[in-house]
């Protein structure tokens, strides 16, 4: 969601936002680990049960690094809706259907505004992203009006690229991108 909100801010405040780095941007949940029933989730939102349906993330939790994945799994396997006290450390194991429906609305807004974005844009995406394919980053890359844009593909990570195998590469690419964006100003 952070990538989407960053793009919206770049569209809304073009004189203020000097560059956007989108990490694993998600417009379409089309990764290899997404459940086959995901198309039913919007239907649940139209029923009175919308406040009771949740999507619970399954392994690998967006993490290819086995040690980090075990750490997250230990928390996720014990987590319940009532006890989510360590969300800041581990992330959300549950996603309410209502949230996913609202996210769909954010995606619609982003897609409409992509052509107005002129700030430099960097997209960093794992080739093997389990939640969202590279199609997402390519979609954004092809539609933003930015003169400076780059797509960085990672080959040893899944969705959570800031905690996975190539997190140092992510940090280095972001540092280099923003140093260049600052120089361009």
Q: What per-residue confidence (pLDDT) applies to 130?
A: 96
**pLDDT under 70 in the chain at which residues?**
37-42, 83-85, 87-88, 182-185
CB 156 within 8 A of CB 121: no
With 0-12 / 13-18 / 19 or more C-beta atoms within 10 angstroms meaning exposed / middle / buried, residue 49 is exposed
- The CATH number that domain 2-184 falls under is 3.40.50.1820
Q: What per-residue confidence (pLDDT) applies to 184?
A: 59
SS3 23: strand
Q: What per-residue confidence (pLDDT) applies to 110?
A: 98
Whether omega for the bond prior to residue 60 falls within 30 degrees of 0, making it cis, is yes
Q: Convert the pLDDT of each residue in 138-147 to its tens digit.
A: 999 999 999 9
Q: Give the position of tokens 């014990």.
A: 78
Q: What per-residue confidence (pLDDT) applies to 52?
A: 72
CB 24 within 8 A of CB 159: yes
Q: At what angle do helices 97-113 and 2-12 cross, to 10 degrees?
A: 40
With 0-12 / 13-18 / 19 or more C-beta atoms within 10 angstroms meaning exposed / middle / buried, residue 59 is middle
Q: What per-residue confidence (pLDDT) applies to 182?
A: 63
In angstroms, how far is CA 14 from the centroid of its own chain? 22
Q: Give the position of tokens 């569209």.
A: 11
What residues does each domain of the chain span?
2-184
Q: What per-residue confidence (pLDDT) applies to 53?
A: 74
Q: What is the DSSP pairing of strand 54-56 with strand 94-96?
A: antiparallel
Q: What per-residue confidence (pLDDT) applies to 113?
A: 98
Q: Convert the pLDDT of each residue in 98-114 to its tens digit.
A: 777 788 899 999 999 99
Q: What is the CA radius of gyration of the chain?
A: 17
């Amino acid at each position: 969601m952070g990538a989407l909100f960053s793009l919206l801010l770049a569209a809304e405040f073009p004189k203020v936002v000097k560059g956007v780095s989108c990490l694993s941007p998600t417009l379409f949940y089309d990764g290899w680990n997404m459940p086959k029933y995901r198309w039913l989730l919007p239907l649940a939102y139209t029923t009175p049960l919308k406040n009771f349906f949740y999507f619970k993330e399954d392994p690998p939790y967006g993490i290819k690094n086995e040690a980090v994945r075990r750490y997250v799994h230990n928390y996720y396997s014990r987590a319940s809706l009532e006890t989510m006290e360590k969300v800041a450390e581990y992330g959300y194991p549950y996603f309410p259907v209502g949230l996913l429906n609202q996210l769909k609305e954010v995606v619609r807004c982003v897609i409409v505004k992509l052509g107005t974005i002129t700030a430099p844009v960097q997209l960093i995406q794992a080739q093997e992203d389990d939640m969202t394919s590279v199609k997402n980053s390519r979609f954004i890359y092809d539609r933003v009006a930015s003169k400076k844009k780059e797509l960085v593909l990672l080959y040893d990570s899944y969705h959570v690229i800031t905690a996975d195998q190539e997190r140092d590469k992510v940090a280095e690419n972001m540092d280099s991108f923003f140093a260049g964006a600052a120089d361009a100003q």
